[in-house]
Amino acid sequence: MWKFIVRRLIITMPQLILLSLIVFILASMMPGDALTGQIDPNISSEAIEEQREKLGWNNPWYVQYSDWVVGVAQGDFGQSYRFKMPVTDLIWDRMINTFWLSLISVFFIYALGIPMGIISGRWNDKLVDQIITGYTYLGFATPIFIFALVTLWVFGFHLGWFPTGGSVAPGLESGSMEYILSKIHHLLLPGLSIALIGLVGTVQYLRSEIVDTKQKDFIITARAKGAPEQRVYNRHIFRNSVLPIAAFFGYEITMLISGSIFVEQIYSYPGMGALFLESIVLRDYSVVTALVLLFGLAAILGALLSDIILSIVDPRIRIK
């Protein structure tokens, strides 16, 4: 298996290089740059042109690309023009925020999704299953940006149970108990919004797997041997049905760092998704390229992780 992992990692490199090349070319085709927005009669256009020249934005894209590659090789992703700080520092700040948000949503997805899937699979076509399946259809059909707005309105503004924006209450001392509690409080609503929509896939996969496994021969054998129903479900059916979920797990990890653009926007939550969108709109290219590369890396690693997990939970799958 180590061989496999190493081989996959080696393939990753050219993929990333290709990705960065495409992003760079596309970015150079996009109209405008971070200074185009400065259409302001109080700022002289010479000053803007001078900055452009100084920052090397007038160079052809391949020159900029090679400069960038040299920097990246040394771990330097450049400077964000907009934030006037190193891209790595900027992304690191945001990644921590997104990591916590994603962690809590992944937690809710599994904590709610797996029991719901089991219940609806075990009692399929009963009322409880119909309710859960009905919910999943609705969840499939509801766009996350509508759902997030509705939850924000109902629980944030109307009932006032949760804060309505940001990642932490202003003015708290970083690291104190209050600060941590405030962070969690701020995470709950956006995390739940993501999870309540995000879990529908998990529920449906699990349900159909359980319904499928229930009728397999080895289950009938287990029952014939006199295994109690609880044991049949927990030991025999569940373990076999959880496979596709496990396969998905790697991809969920990807979400840990890429974040959710819509939810972060609606909740003014400063995470990676929001950073990505803003950087595109405001043409902060050094951030955009760094983020695309990072997301690409995460996706590739997520896929690899999924394969590895799958081979662990299902001994029949052997990676060669």
Q: Measured from the CB atom, is 119 or 245 closer to another protein?
A: 119
Where does residue 262 rank: exposed (0-12), middle (13-18), buried (19+ CB within 10 A)?
buried
Report CA 245 to chain centroid distance, whole Å: 16
133 scored as a contact of another protein (CB under 8 A):
yes
Site string for another protein, 74-93 (x = CB under 8 A): --------xxxxx------x
Q: Which stretch binds another protein (CB under 8 A): 10-18, 65-73, 123-131, 309-317?
A: 123-131
* Residue 64, CA atoms < 13 Å, CB-side half-sphere: 21
247 scored as a contact of another protein (CB under 8 A):
no
Which residues, numbered 273-292, are part of the site for another protein (CB under 8 A)? 274-275, 278, 281-283
Q: Which stretch binds another protein (CB under 8 A): 12-20, 33-41, 62-70, 296-304?
A: 33-41
The tokens 């803003």 sit on which residue? 278
- Which residues, in sequence order, are CB contacts of 30 under 8 Å at separation 6+? 283
Q: Measured from the CB atom, is 38 or 234 closer to another protein?
A: 38
Q: Which stretch binds another protein (CB under 8 A): 7-15, 28-36, 112-120, 254-262?
A: 28-36
Could you tell me which of 97, 87, 91 has the C-alpha nearest to residue 264? 97
177 scored as a contact of another protein (CB under 8 A):
no
Q: State both tokens at 24.
A: 């760079």
Residue 86, φ and ψ in degrees, nearest 5: -60, 140
What DSSP string runs through 222-243?
HHHTT--HHHIIIIIIHHHHSH
d(CA 314, CA 25): 42
- Rounded to a whole number of angstroms, the minimum distance from the CB of residue 224 to another protein is 29
Name the residues that contact another protein, by CB under 8 A.
30-32, 35-48, 50-51, 82-86, 93, 125, 127, 130-131, 133-135, 137-138, 142, 149-150, 152-154, 156-158, 160, 164-168, 170-174, 265-268, 270, 274-275, 278, 281-283
